[in-house]
Amino acid sequence: MATLRRIGIAGAGLSGLAAALAAARAGAQVEVFEAAARLAAPPASIDVVPNMLRDLAALGVAEACVRKGFAYTSMVCVDAAGRTQFEIPAPSLAGAACPAAMGMGYADLLATLHEACVAQGVRLHWGARVERSSTHAGQARLSGAAGLLWQGDLAIVAGAASMLQSEPPLGATSQRLPQRWDHVLVARPRGIDRLTWCVGTSGLKVLVVPTGVAQAGLAVLCDDTPGARPAATPAALRQRLQQMGGAPAAMAALVRDDATVISRPVQTGLLSGPWHRGAVLRIGASAHLLPPHFGQAAAQSIEDAAVLGSLLPTAPDRRRLLAQFHARRTARAAQVHAITTQAALWDLHPEPATDFPALAQQLAPIVEHAA
Ligand SMILES: Cc1cc2nc3c(=O)[nH]c(=O)nc-3n(C[C@H](O)[C@H](O)[C@H](O)COP(=O)(O)OP(=O)(O)OC[C@H]3O[C@@H](n4cnc5c(N)ncnc54)[C@H](O)[C@@H]3O)c2cc1C
């Protein structure tokens, strides 16, 4: 049974829901406060990479995810003519009952975590914007508009870097890179049966993530500097795919007029110093803003929750829990942050040293074992 009995979480995104699930499974009473009126359901894909699937298994939701996803055993990079440039095998880290990796709908992943939270007794408050996190007389506190006031043993800020007025920013390293990914769901392109990077003739890329037999997510990289910034509409996305030539051009027709295009600027940042202060811990995007390369932006958020879940049942008190969390998470997240940031910088400005397979090889031993 967890020593920290009452845990409050600001944010019901990936990291908040995963942490809520981890804490509830460890026996804590958990309340989640989410600013949005309902669970987000972005029409986009997410690649559930091997270390993320392993950590979802530790949270008890891997099987439910696998039922909704599309399994794969490697990722491949193809050039404009459809020739394989390189292939990176996906190691099996989640146990014999699970595939090595998979793609799934982002909304399905959030819904799976949400269902598991509800089944574990987590109390979710929608339309509850937290404005401040603090520590008073040794108690954690989350407060906000309309009388929102929660007090307990540990408060977790789980989400966007600047979500609370009381939180300092991520530090000098936090920045928006001059590129963005536009996400859209389409019918699965013929012949795409795994995570596939398609490099177009213009040097831009499209990442194809099959999410089911009939569906896939496209994530299209573009230059997001003022002046170059293209529109995020189905028609504009089709045009960009056509300009890329090769396999991406063939996918243009799959983008329907009624599709929703979600634009995500690429950001990078890492909290300098500990992720905790007093009785408040920051996880997910409020502690580490990672470019989504190698699936690590999401995977590192789930890893925060998995580590919390493994520490809570035996942590003798909050101080030692936070110290152990710090020891297991910060250096590792910093290593992954450096690798994914390098990948993002190389995307738009390739150098003679650009070598994505080498970056993947650097990453593999870091995330191979649970944190
Ligand atoms: C469409 C999409 C596709 C993606 N694809 C990938 C991918 O393929 N691979 C990958 O690695 N990463 C991907 N990512 C990024 C990855 O999901 C993020 O790194 C991850 O979501 C970070 O999770 P988070 O919960 O910390 O933050 P967020 O997802 O930003 O969630 C924060 C939550 O907090 C809520 N909130 C904000 N302010 C407040 C407040 N004041 N009070 C209460 N609640 C508040 C927000 O409404 C939100 O629900 C994708 C993200 C999106 C949206």
> Which H, E and C letters describe the chain, residue by residue?
CCCCCEEEEECCCHHHHHHHHHHHHCCCEEEEEECCCCCCCCCCEEEECHHHHHHHHHCCCHHHHHHHCEEECEEEEECCCCCEEEEEECCCCCCCCCCCEEEEEHHHHHHHHHHHHHHCCCEEEECCCEEEEEEECCEEEEEECCCCEEEECEEEEECCCCCCCCCCCCCCCCEEEEEEEEEEEEECCCCCCCEEEEECCCCCEEEEEECCCCEEEEEEEEECCCCCCCCCCHHHHHHHHHHHCHHHHHHHHHCCCCCCCEEEEEEEEECCCCCEECCEEEEHHHCEECCCHHHHHHHHHHHHHHHHHHHCCCCCCHHHHHHHHHHHHHHHHHHHHHHHHHHHHHHHCCCCCCCHHHHHHHHHHHHCCCC
Whose C-alpha lies nearest to ligand 1, atom 46?
Answer: 11
pLDDT number for residue 233:
96
Rounded Cα distance, 294 and 103, in Å:
13
* Domain count across the chain: 1
* Mutation to probe ligand 1, out of 9, 15, 38, 102 (largest number of atoms < 8 A from CB): 15
Beta sheet of 139-144, edge-to-edge order = 130-136, 139-144, 149-152
pLDDT number for residue 173:
65
Mean pLDDT of 91-111: 97
The ligand 1 atom at the shortest distance from the C-alpha of residue 262 is 1
What is the Å distance from ligand 1's center to 371 Cα?
A: 21
Ligand 1 first shell, C-beta below 6 A:
10-16, 33-36, 40, 42, 44, 46-47, 106, 129-130, 158-160, 163-164, 183, 262, 264, 284-285, 292, 295-298, 301
Within-domain flag for 219:
no
Residue 202, φ and ψ in degrees, nearest 5? -80, -5
Which domain, by its residues, includes 106? 6-172+267-367
Mean pLDDT of 90-117: 97
Within-domain flag for 203:
no
Q: Which CATH number characterizes residue 29's domain?
A: 3.50.50.60
The tokens 């450096």 sit on which residue? 338
Within-domain flag for 286:
yes
Please give the residue that has the higher pLDDT: either 172 or 322.
Answer: 322
What is the Å distance from ligand 1's center to 100 Cα?
A: 24
Residue 251 has pLDDT above 70, yes or no: yes
Within-domain flag for 94:
yes
Whose C-alpha lies nearest to ligand 1, atom 21?
Answer: 14
pLDDT band at 273 (very low <50, low <70, confident <90, very high): confident
Residue 23 has pLDDT above 90, yes or no: yes
What is the Å distance from ligand 1's center to 82 Cα?
A: 33
pLDDT number for residue 49:
98
Percent of the chain scoring above 90 in pLDDT: 81
Residue 142 has pLDDT above 80, yes or no: yes
pLDDT number for residue 196:
96
What is the Å distance from ligand 1's center to 191 Cα?
A: 30
The ligand 1 atom at the shortest distance from the C-alpha of residue 207 is 8
Mean pLDDT of 340-350: 91
pLDDT number for residue 200:
73
Residue 354 has pLDDT above 80, yes or no: yes
Residue 27 has pLDDT above 60, yes or no: yes
The ligand 1 atom at the shortest distance from the C-alpha of residue 164 is 41
Q: What is the length of the chain?
A: 371
Residue 165 has pLDDT above 70, yes or no: no
Please give the residue that has the higher pLDDT: either 222 or 112.
Answer: 112
Cross-strand bridge partners of residue 135: 140
What is the Å distance from ligand 1's center to 250 Cα?
A: 31
Count of CB atoms situated within 10 Å of the CB of 364:
15
pLDDT band at 2 (very low <50, low <70, confident <90, very high): low
Residue 234 has pLDDT above 90, yes or no: yes
What is the Å distance from ligand 1's center to 26 Cα?
A: 24
Side-chain-facing half-sphere of 14: CA atoms under 13 Å: 25
Within-domain flag for 60:
yes
What is the Å distance from ligand 1's center to 114 Cα?
A: 14
Within-domain flag for 185:
no
Task: Give the tens place of pLDDT for each residue, 184-202.
Answer: 999 999 999 999 999 876 6
Mean pLDDT of 294-313: 97
pLDDT number for residue 229:
87
User: How much is the mean pLDDT over the chain?
Assistant: 93
Mean pLDDT of 242-269: 93
pLDDT band at 138 (very low <50, low <70, confident <90, very high): very high
CB 107 within 8 A of CB 273: no
Please give the residue that has the higher pLDDT: either 50 or 349.
Answer: 50
Within-domain flag for 25:
yes
Within-domain flag for 132:
yes
pLDDT band at 341 (very low <50, low <70, confident <90, very high): very high
Whose C-alpha lies nearest to ligand 1, atom 8?
Answer: 46
